[in-house]
Structure 1
Amino acid sequence: MLLEVVNKATLYVVDEMLPQATWPEAHQPRVGGCLERLPDLPNWRATPMRWASRPVVAARI
């Protein structure tokens, strides 16, 4: 997962977490899995937002 290579004290911001018509078929399960695992990742604090295109702001601590 990308988050494993992000340095400490780094913000990670991602947009367009709602399913998109242009995504390959296998992409949605990966996005969903990432969103489900975020709260349990050690040394991470993440806030998935429930508006617009469902952006996520996360910080590695």
Structure 2
Amino acid sequence: MLDVSTRESESGEWVVRLEYPELAGCVAESGYALDAHEKLERLREQWLQHRVETHQEIPTPRPSLRS
């Protein structure tokens, strides 16, 4: 699941926040949605690679909301 929200940063600017809640620490923020998405996808790849390399469990994705 990809969680998307907007929020006001400490500097007073509005940013887009994207997060994979099931992947601890996979969070990215930017003033532009596409930039935040690119950052998040790089983090996700690094997160998954690290889990594979260290033989850690990878969470099973939630089922689709569609039935």
Q: TM-score, normalised by structure 1?
A: 0.31
- Of structures 1 and 2, the one with the larger relative CO (CA 8 A, separation 6+) is 1
User: Rg: which structure is higher?
Assistant: 2
